[in-house]
Amino acid sequence: MKYIKLCIFLISGLIMSCSEDNDGNQQQNPSEPNLVIKLKFDANQIRLNNLGQPATIPSGNAAQSPSINRMSANYIELAPTALTPLETGEIIYVGSETTAGGAQAINFQNAVFAGNNETFITIPLTEVASGNYEWVRVSLAYQEGNIIVFTNGQDITGTLASFVGYNSYITTFNLNGSTFDINDNKPQGFWAFEALGFTTQGQAPEGSTTVPNPLFDSSPIPPGSCVVTGEFENGLNITGNETQDITVTLSFSINNSFEWTEVNADGKYQPEAGEQVVDMGLRGLIPSVEN
């Protein structure tokens, strides 16, 4: 009987010892390094046009810099050179898409969102091909933020939802407690607005959403795709031997990115006067790397 008890004690001790050793080994193993993609929105960043050149506000229009609360992208690609055609680089993210509304569209209900200086996605570096990448392409899908509207003789703050992706299937969404039931595909430029319980929605003209692409000549993008292109200052080098995370911050220019036609030439957005939204596109992309 004593022998049996002794065996049980020794076996129990061995199991506990193995368990402790395994836990210790797990704690000692470093976590798998990741590629971390963060978003940033900068009202002071240079304002670019579709060709990636500095742009002023056209005569007859006015603009303001919104305060972006959150954004979603549907596609991220790393491009080795300026000659790399779209979709032939290292595609690191593709969002959910659907044909529920007819044509292929971004599935807004499954979209991933991030706010200013927040992480959008995290990808194990083992899933990213080694190499040196000079450019990044980001297909934007949605942005939501605050704008100033002049109405009844006063400025009020409202929330604007901008669907800037190539095509978005939307069932329903909420702005500050107000529900919008869509249940349909919406092309690039669809928007919705809420302020003080008042809601409205509309559609910017086709082709009016600015999509800066400095590689316009060497690597064009399809019209309406909203693939914004930015250059790494010193490249993004992935060796495949990383032991720590690599963080890439995608800084988007919101410098006067909300633009409308002026009826009253006062620089204030006045929809009740018939002023129409013409552009909601982000105005440039500068990616940076932190190891």
What are the DSSP E strand ranges found in 125-266? 131-151, 154-163, 167-175, 178-187, 190-195, 198-203, 227-238, 246-253, 258-261
Q: What average pLDDT does this structure show over 36-65?
A: 97
Whether the pLDDT of residue 17 is over 80: the answer is no
Q: Mean pLDDT of all residues in the chain?
A: 89
DSSP 17: H
- Tell me, yes or no, whether 76 lies in a domain: yes
Whether the pLDDT of residue 1 is over 60: the answer is no
Backbone angles phi, psi at 197, to 5 degrees: 90, -10
Domain that holds residue 175: 34-290
- Tell me, yes or no, whether 284 lies in a domain: yes
- Tell me, yes or no, whether 256 lies in a domain: yes
Name the percent of the chain lying above pLDDT 70. 90
Using DSSP bridges, classify how beta strands 34-42 and 246-253 pair: parallel, antiparallel or unpaired: parallel
- Tell me, yes or no, whether 191 lies in a domain: yes
What is the pLDDT, as a whole number, of residue 208? Answer: 86
Residue 206 pLDDT level (bands cut at 50, 70, 90):
confident
Q: Cα 240 to chain center, whole Å?
A: 26
Residue 16 pLDDT level (bands cut at 50, 70, 90):
very low
**CA nearest to 279, candidates 225, 215, 203:** 203
- Tell me, yes or no, whether 118 lies in a domain: yes
- Tell me, yes or no, whether 11 lies in a domain: no
Residue 215 pLDDT level (bands cut at 50, 70, 90):
very high
Q: What's the total number of domains in the chain? A: 1
Q: What average pLDDT does this structure show over 173-200?
A: 94
What is the pLDDT, as a whole number, of residue 37? Answer: 98
Q: Cα 180 to chain center, whole Å?
A: 22
- Tell me, yes or no, whether 262 lies in a domain: yes
Residue 30 pLDDT level (bands cut at 50, 70, 90):
low
Whether the pLDDT of residue 261 is over 50: the answer is yes
- Tell me, yes or no, whether 18 lies in a domain: no
Torsion of CA 96, 98, 104, 107, to 10 degrees: -50
